[in-house]
A and B are shown apart, each in its own frame.
Chain A
Amino acid sequence: MKIFSTHHRTIGIGYLLLAGTSVAIGTLLSLLMRVHRVWPDLNWPLWGVIKPEDYLAAVTMHGTLMVFFVLTTAPQSGFSNLVLPEQIGSRTMALPWLNAAGLWTTVASLLVLLSAFFVRGGGPISGWTSYPPLSALAEAGPGQATGMDLWLVSIGLFCIASTMNGANTLVTVIRCRCKGMTWGRMPLTVWAWLTAALLTVIVFSVLFAAALMLLCDWHAGTSFFVPAGGVINGVVDTQHGDGSPLLWLHLFWFFGHPEVYIAILPGMGMTSMLLANFCRRGIPAYRWMITTTLLIGLLGLSVWGHHMFVAGLNPWAGTVFQLTTIAIAIPSTAKVLNWLMTLWGSRPTYSTPMLWSLGFVSLFIAGGVTGPVLAQPALDAYLHNTFFVVAHFHLVMAMAGVFSIFAGLTYWFPLIAGRRLD
């Protein structure tokens, strides 16, 4: 197997290996955070006691690695490259060179991110959401100079790579379907990858713009996100004009919420497919499932404000974003009902991928039911930034998301390794 290959399956395996590396590092970081919470004064060999900035850098890197390099790459870029062309009767992805460029840009992005651990000041400390001015001013904390620069460059590269992959997926699905593979016959996995690719090209370009603007605030004398007259560490900031931190929140979450669906839609598609396969029956209400996939993607673009209920928006905005957010619960519920209907009286084969998929359904329900609680602005204003929210998105993204990755890995293992699991 060549390392530099433009064959879609090799590229898919490349993405899965990249996700595997990132998930290993990200999990070690979360273990470190937990150990630190239990024994805050522990003297770590080679490192010493964990300082507050070390902890925050671990939080930032954990979130960035998991959201971008695991949950975006494996389900979307990884599995789609592995099987999408075959599922629509095509020999290749439409743009093999762009595909390879996407993978290697992602690798570069990962290396840039990881290098932030080793620069003076360490990794950035402002979390994976990088709210300015904390993320825009070197004086705001250790890790907020070179570390933050590297984070921004890494995210910029990742946006470019994801857009390449998204564009490739779109072109492949639209142009490369074999004769007879009509829209109404496409597997739900392909519908999911298509919807996620559509979201990818829309929202990653917005994130790219935001990262570029923040980088300009650092190095080009602009003030998109930093207001005038800040006083940091007793020093008045005279470098910046009249920027608005809220602008970053809007741009970031316009990306951030659809990102959740980019991570979970492929898992939903795979679950529909696997449950039907191992229950040995067709997918009930197949067309409904296409509609719900598209609806989740579409509505996903209109809910970013539910991350900003305490950010000082006009209270009317709270009501509007509550409505759009609750609206997403409806197609999501339809999917869950559909899975339950597939399983009802099916006596399925309990193979390994089937077990992971059943776990996906269970965890998706558990994470999903906390959604309509958080969608209520008055309740969210109490729960915002608490462990309730952390649990909510970890159940959906980390747990359900990772279960679907395992389902895919075990199901397509022969394609990856050339042999069956025993």
Chain B
Amino acid sequence: MTLTPILAMRWWLPQDAALHGAALDREMYLALWIMTGLLATAHLVMLVGLCIGRREAKRSIWRLEVAPLLLLTILFGWMTIRAERLWAATRYAGADPAVMQVEVVGAQFVWYFRYPGADARFGKTKPELVQPGEGNPLGIDPGDEDGRDDRVSSELVLPIGREVDLRIRSLDVIHGFSVPEMRVKQNAIPGQVFHIHFTPVHEGRYAVLCTQVCGLGHYRMQAAVRVVSIAEFARWSER
């Protein structure tokens, strides 16, 4: 037996390519280290307690149970406050209304990305018009002005350094939109629209996964995010 597979395993978080990622990673490692410390301490106390000789003396509940509990409560409270600030910073406020919007649509077993075009407005969609075979996988209504310049892509192309606001929905069942490198995950639930926003800060190609079982093709429901320079994004948009 060799240990190579274990050593070759990726032990740490994947590359962080989003602006809010650094704070999240810091919080993650902090939480993991604190918890590893508690795990080790508790086991050490248990082992030492089992090895030492028998003590019959009356023990103080206050010193041995209440005091450590208070300390740990303070520790958990401190972690909770930090965590709340982090959550508030990324989620309490929506994106700036002026930022670029992209619609993310999950369907068994593909992700579609719709860009609103020059008018920055998405056209209406109708379920009866959904025809993936005929180039209209989202059922965009040809009668709606706003939809004329909408562009549906199988790849999420984003300009670097610009905030993006994703509107996430699903055509059929619940899917899980997830890009580990962007540190975002949000379920796509049919009948509802959810927004998440982030700023990509590293050029590159990253996998979009589905993280909610959505049927027999769930395992292959993947797409890509491509973060490109602003000039290249402009070129791509015009194509």
Residues of A within 8 A of B (CB): 51-53, 56, 59, 125-127, 131-134, 137, 140-142, 227-234, 236-237, 242-246, 284-285, 288, 310-312, 315-316, 318-319, 322-323, 326, 329-330, 333-334, 336-338, 340-341, 343-348, 358, 361-362, 365-366, 369-370, 372-373, 375-379, 381-382, 384-386
Contact = CB atoms under 8 A, between A and B. Distances in A.
B173 A285 contact: no
B87 A230 contact: no
Contacts of B139: 231
A386 B77 CA distance: 26
Contact of B39 (A333, A347, A369): A369
B208 to A, nearest CB: 15
Contacts of A334: 65, 69
A376 B80 CA distance: 7
Contact of B76 (A127, A233, A330, A381): A330
A243 to B, nearest CB: 8
Given A315-B88, A348-B50, 8 more contacts: A243-B191, A284-B65, A288-B65, A344-B49, A345-B55, A372-B76, A373-B32, A386-B211
Given A284-B61, A319-B88, A370-B35, A131 B212 contact: yes
Contacts of B131: 234
Contacts of B215: 125, 134, 140-141
Given A236-B130, A315-B87, A382-B185, A284 B59 contact: yes
A56 B221 CA distance: 15
Nearest to A313: B194
A231 B107 contact: yes
Contacts of B217: 52
Most chain B C-beta atoms within 10 Å of own C-beta, residue among A228, A365, A378 = A378
A419 to B, nearest CB: 30
Contacts of B68: 337
A385 B28 CA distance: 16
A245 B190 contact: yes
Contacts of B186: 310, 312, 381
Contacts of B35: 369-370, 372-373
Contacts of B187: 310-312
Given A232-B172, A372-B76, A318 B54 contact: no
B24 A346 contact: no
B214 interface: yes
A346 B49 contact: yes
Contact of A52 (B54, B189, B218): B218
Contacts of B92: 315-316
Nearest to A348: B50
B96 interface: no
Please provide the 8 A-B residue pairs with the shortest distance between their CB atoms, ordered closest to farther. A227-B191, A345-B55, A344-B49, A376-B83, A369-B35, A315-B91, A229-B127, A312-B194
Interface in B71-107: 72-73, 76-77, 79-80, 83-84, 86-88, 90-92, 107
A378 B83 CA distance: 7
Contacts of B213: 56, 59, 125-127, 131, 134
Contact of B218 (A56, A242, A316, A341): A56
Given A310-B187, A382-B185, A365 B42 contact: yes
Nearest to A280: B54
A329 B76 contact: yes
B183 interface: yes
B76 A361 contact: no
A188 to B, nearest CB: 15
Given A133-B173, A284-B59, A246 B189 contact: yes
Contacts of B234: none
Interface string B39-73: 10011011001101111000101001100110011
Contacts of B53: 345, 347
Contacts of A134: 173-174, 213-215
Nearest to B85: A378
Contacts of B108: 140, 232-233
Given A244-B191, A382-B183, A344 B45 contact: yes
